[in-house]
Amino acid sequence: MLERKSSIENELDIIAARRCAKEVAKELGFSTVDQVRIATAISELARNIVLYAKEGSIVVRVLCEGKRKGLEILVADNGPGIPNIELAMTDGYSTSGGLGAGLPGARRLMDTFCVDSQLGKGTTIVARKWKA
C-alpha cells in the first residue's frame, strides 16, 4: 500500500501536503476535478492543524478494494480537541473568526468523513475519496 506522510506546522507544510495528495490522486487516475477536491480538503484540514493544534500530520494512503481504488486521508494532532464536533461540522461555525467552512467543506468534498476528538488530547480525522 502506498502511503505518504506530511508533517504540518506552518503554511508551507499546507502547500506541500496539498501537492503530495494531488500527485497521488493523479497517479491513481482521479479526474482533474477530483484531484482539486482532494487537494482542497487537505488544505482545509491542514489549516485547522496550524490554527488550532500548531502541529500534526497528514497521511495519504492508497486504498484498493477489488478493482475499486481510492485515497484515505488520516489527519492527526495532539491539540486541544474539539469541544462540540456536531457544532464544528455546522456551516458558518468558527472559533477563529473565519468563515466556518473548513470541516463541513472538507466533508462535502470527500465520500466518507469521520472525526474523533478528545479534549486535551487531540483530533483524528479519517476521510476517503473513491475513484469514480
* CATH number assigned to the domain comprising residue 67: 3.30.565.10
Domain that holds residue 14: 3-130
Contact indicator for 48, 103 with CB cutoff of 8 Å = yes
Rounded Cα gap, residues 43 and 102, in angstroms = 9
User: Which residues touch 63 (CB under 8 Å, ≥6 apart)?
Assistant: 1, 69, 70, 71, 72, 128, 130
- pLDDT per position as a tens digit, 42-86: 999 999 999 999 999 999 999 999 999 999 999 999 999 999 888
Q: Quick one: pLDDT at residue 100?
A: 47
Domain count, the chain: 1
Span 4-12, mean pLDDT?
97
| 124 C-beta neighbours (distance < 10 Å), count | 15
Task: Please state the pTM of the whole predicted model.
Answer: 0.90
Q: Quick one: pLDDT at residue 102?
A: 77
Average pLDDT in the chain: 92
Q: Which residue has the higher pLDDT, 93 or 123?
A: 123
Ranges of H-type helices in the chain: 11-27, 32-48, 85-88, 102-109
Q: Quick one: pLDDT at residue 89?
A: 79
Q: Which residue has the higher pLDDT, 15 or 93?
A: 15
Span 6-19, mean pLDDT?
97
